[in-house]
Structure 1
Amino acid sequence: MNNFLSRRPLTMHQLYGDHVIFTSRPSFEKNPWLTTEEHQANMLTARELLIADMPVIIHEATVGEKSRALMQAAGMEFPSSYRTFKDAESYAERLREAEAAGEKIFFQYTHGEEFVEPSTYYIDKELFVALNNKMKLAKWTKGKFLPKRKVVPVRQLSEELQKWDYPYVIKPGDDHPTAGGYGVMICYNSQDRDKALSRIQEAETDADFVIEDYIRTEQNYCVQYAYSEATGLQYIGASIQNTNEYGKYHGNITAHHVPEQVIAAGREIMENGVAAGYRGIAGFDLLVDDQGEVYAIDLNFRQNGSTSMLIMDELLAGDYEKFFGTFAKVSNDAFYNRLMEEVRAGRLFPLAYYDGDYFTEEGIPSRFVGIWHGEKEDVEAHDQAFAQFNQD
């Protein structure tokens, strides 16, 4: 085995220190704005394992022999700093065990007090909730980098929307976490508006909502930073985000030429969060419009989908990295064998593998998240070839 992991330029342990554990799983509680499928949520618990170097709570299906073999094929020993769960009950047990041991927990997403006391949060829970609340965007940007926006009570939302020209964006302003564009409702026409209002009605919420102008985007960046007292404030890097027309996340590529005004805007927002007491990694969705103006549309004071890719950037061969997440549409064996072939070829770097065959039920597809890397044309060709192979 090589010393690949020893060459990481940054780990979560360097930021959060000893006696801190990490969980990226959304709470098992109901959340109307974060509709991640259960197996997808379980798989993503291991996404940051390689950049952690600290205890991470991950699902048992991510630590089997196939996961270890993929890591070995990439030249790495499987990390040992993890604690496993298999269901909602055992997940809650891991949290309670950490609390009883006096450890702090860095939550990717907030959990109710029935899981752990607020004092167990590594970041003050009220601050963490406020930092990630879309309604408070103006507070953390100090009123800068914002599209036209208005916060309205849900009971006034339908009436207020009649005053806005299409397209516009509706975002929930409550304390429920969101991710991957879920919870963000882009309205191009009255059909989209009616669908959004219907979804909001189904959520049975009395929260406020944010209405924003839709930004006609030239580029969509996730710009990331890290801070601790020991390391100071660091710019980790940025990725170019691929979203569909309704803002749903479909992956990203590493951005090596980011406009300085984008980096500066993100740094300013990070400094505002740090001044309020935030410690750790954060990523901000910053848009550049056709006039070169920078707009902040979402602030994620937590690890992000491309955080591992950005930290690993200089360690991967080639000039082009593309985040890759997929699940088996062919048989699990065929899916795994093709992944192994790509990893052994040195063009696909594994972050996490979720073994569908771990489960006694039949028909659970395996899942994978990793990084394509190499030259752009080669990466895109193999990405497309894998998609063609992995068809129903």
Structure 2
Amino acid sequence: MTRGRLRPTLTMSEIFGPDRIFFPRAHDGYSDWLPEKPAVLDALTGGSLAIAGDMPVVCSEGFNTPVGLDLLAFTGFDVAQDRIHFTAGGQIHAFATAATRPNAKIVFQHAFPPGSPGQIRSWIDPALLRYLNDKANLAELVSPRNVPRRRIVDRDEHFATADHALPAVLKVATGQSTGGGLGVAICRSPDDLRQAARTFEKCARIVVEEMLDVVRNPCLNFAVMPDGEVRYLGFADQDVTPQGRHYGNWIGLGSPIPEAAIEAATEPVRRAAVMGYRGLAGVDLALTGSNDTYVLDLNFRSNASTTAILLAPAIASRSGATVAHLRTVQGPPHADELAAAMRPFVASGRLIPLTLFDAQAAGYPGEGARSRALIAGVIRSPRE
């Protein structure tokens, strides 16, 4: 296989423009619906390094090791050169360092609590970011024909009611970011409902949504450019369990998706652009057995599949692969061991690591190394 550089169709510096600094770390006091462990939150801060271009990125020291940078260079990436690193617990200091750069605005991946210090440096109005990501507001942004039957209810009143129509999908209504299905409960039985009551114990409001006959669950990605232009970037089919947990993405390299689905997902991004939003967005859809298209979730940030989607054309061109599965690979305590195990598969072109996180270097001696990686392959017919 001829090796070459893997470059994204758009870099973050092109999407966000000059004098922007990317701050992907969630706020510890405002991340109730993201993974609880600080090590996991830190491990998510390097997900965009392969597509950053010239954009400065604040990320964990776990992405600054020679073995990690060497593996990504061997894969074919031009990793962001302008990085501001932090070790465990040091993200606020890193933010303060970034904020000292003259004329720079901060691109927050996740909304911070109202009144947090430094919000004046936010590129996007923090109140707008919280509004757009609140599941309670989905129907105000999406075309009515693409909104599933849903209602916003008081949490306490809902679970105090004895009679509930099941099955149903319950979702947290919050201005905080959600991820990995942690803010969603699939309720098919009274036991599921009791578990949901515990899950949403600290919520004031929840969304009660109809259960759909979902045959496909794609996430469509968009970029709102500095001038307000909305660009469709591509999609990934989400690998989600029947309980609603997210385990990765399937990316068909060059595969199509119905125009009606693209339009349904584009509309809320257009409306957000008119309201002043700029940057990356992901729209989760449900394509049903009756050929209807519904919008399930809006995530106005870089999504789990964004980096892979922007790199997919280059990967397909270099390797000839027609499909890839995006997964998190968890390894031994030492990142050099994980890198050594991965390297032969990287050389073959079938494994494309997008990150390598060294938990030891990041300040988490009890955690193992991990990598966000694409496993690339070719779908063959049964006769082949």
Distance, in Å, in 2 between the alignment partners of 1:302 and 1:29 is 19
SS, match of residue 353 in structure 2: strand
State the match for 1:371 in structure 2.
Answer: 374
SS, match of residue 123 in structure 2: coil
Could you tell me which of 210, 215, 219 is aligned with 2:216?
Answer: 219
User: Does the CA contact (< 8 Å) of 2:30 and 2:176 recur in 1?
Assistant: no
- Please tell me whether residue 105 in structure 1 is matched to residue 106 in structure 2: yes
Residues 56 and 227 of structure 1: CA distance in aligned 2, closer, same or farther (over 3 Å): same
Could you tell me which of 228, 236, 248 is aligned with 1:251?
Answer: 248
Residues 162-171 or 257-266, more deviating: 162-171
- Please tell me whether residue 148 in structure 1 is matched to residue 149 in structure 2: yes
- Please tell me whether residue 228 in structure 1 is matched to residue 225 in structure 2: yes
Q: Under a length normalisation based on structure 2, what TM-score does the superposition of the two structures give?
A: 0.90
- Please tell me whether residue 137 in structure 1 is matched to residue 134 in structure 2: no
CA-CA distance at 1:359 after TM superposition = 6.1
Residues 358 and 269 of structure 1: CA distance in aligned 2, closer, same or farther (over 3 Å): same
Structure number having the greater helix percentage: 1
State the match for 1:37 in structure 2.
Answer: 37
- Please tell me whether residue 310 in structure 1 is matched to residue 313 in structure 2: no
CA-CA distance at 1:112 after TM superposition = 2.9
State the match for 1:273 in structure 2.
Answer: 272
State the match for 1:384 in structure 2.
Answer: none
State the match for 1:320 in structure 2.
Answer: 323
Deviations along 1:288-319, whole A, 9 cap, x unmatched?
11101011110011110000111001100211
AA aligned to 2:176 is H
Residues 24 and 211 of structure 1: CA distance in aligned 2, closer, same or farther (over 3 Å): same
Please give the root-mean-square deviation of Cα atoms over the aligned residues, in Å: 2.2
- Please tell me whether residue 348 in structure 1 is matched to residue 345 in structure 2: no
User: Does the CA contact (< 8 Å) of 2:224 and 2:231 recur in 1?
Assistant: yes
Deviation beyond 6 Å, 4+ runs, structure 1:
none
AA aligned to 1:253 is W
AA aligned to 2:145 is K
CA-CA distance at 1:370 after TM superposition = 1.7
Deviations along 1:229-267, whole A, 9 cap, x unmatched?
458221100110011111111001114121111111111
CA-CA distance at 1:61 after TM superposition = 1.2
Residues 146-155 or 304-313, more deviating: 146-155
Q: Under a length normalisation based on structure 1, what TM-score does the superposition of the two structures give?
A: 0.88
CA-CA distance at 1:122 after TM superposition = 1.3
Distance, in Å, in 1 between the alignment partners of 2:16 and 2:168 is 38
CA-CA distance at 1:333 after TM superposition = 5.1
User: Does the CA contact (< 8 Å) of 2:68 and 2:335 recur in 1?
Assistant: no
Residues 186-195 or 17-26, more deviating: 17-26
Residues 4 and 212 of structure 1: CA distance in aligned 2, closer, same or farther (over 3 Å): same
Distance, in Å, in 2 between the alignment partners of 1:210 and 1:360 is 38
State the match for 2:263 in structure 1.
Answer: 264
State the match for 2:179 in structure 1.
Answer: 179
Count of residues in correspondence between the two structures = 371
User: Does the CA contact (< 8 Å) of 1:15 and 1:230 recur in 2?
Assistant: no
AA aligned to 1:34 is L
Residues 133 and 164 of structure 1: CA distance in aligned 2, closer, same or farther (over 3 Å): same
Residues 130-139 or 104-113, more deviating: 104-113
Deviations along 1:16-39, whole A, 9 cap, x unmatched?
111111122211225332234222
User: Does the CA contact (< 8 Å) of 1:95 and 1:115 recur in 2?
Assistant: no
Q: Which runs of 5+ in 1 are unaligned?
A: 378-392
Distance, in Å, in 1 between the alignment partners of 2:364 and 2:323 is 39
SS, match of residue 352 in structure 1: coil
SS, match of residue 197 in structure 2: helix
